[in-house]
Amino acid sequence: MYKYTILCYNINSYELVHEVIEKDPDCEYLMVTDDKQLSSTTWKVIYDPDLEGMSTFDKCYAIRFNLFKYATTDICIYIDANVHVKKPLRTLVDMMQAGNYDMCMMPHPLNSTFMPEY
């Protein structure tokens, strides 16, 4: 049984599949797609036929706001498919659980305040 899920989506084959470098055995790695041919060696690819006939925008929102349709854990980390998962995110998950937090935003790799980003 997995402790947490990392989920991303790839609609209309827009993204390259970035394989996970170092997988956490306690993590479920899911990539949701509308492409029956999409494959990965590290992500569990989920083709969702319910997305058929929707606009690209509607497909993205149908996935983004229904993460637990796909995740089998109570903790789901949604990331953009452009993000390359290089290491387990267990430290982040443990910190979130210890703080009893409901959600968080992705930390910026270089900036800790918005002014340098702006």
In the predicted structure, residue 106 carries a pLDDT above the cut 70: no
**3: exposed, middle or buried (C-beta count within 10 Å: 0-12, 13-18, 19+)?**
middle
**In angstroms, how far is CA 67 from the centroid of its own chain?**
9
The domain ranges of the chain are 4-117
Amino acid identity for residue 14 in this structure:
Y
77 in Cβ contact with 20 (< 8 Å): no
117 or 98, which is more confident? 98
- What digits encode the pLDDT tens for the residues 26-43? 999 999 999 999 999 999
Predicted model pTM: 0.86
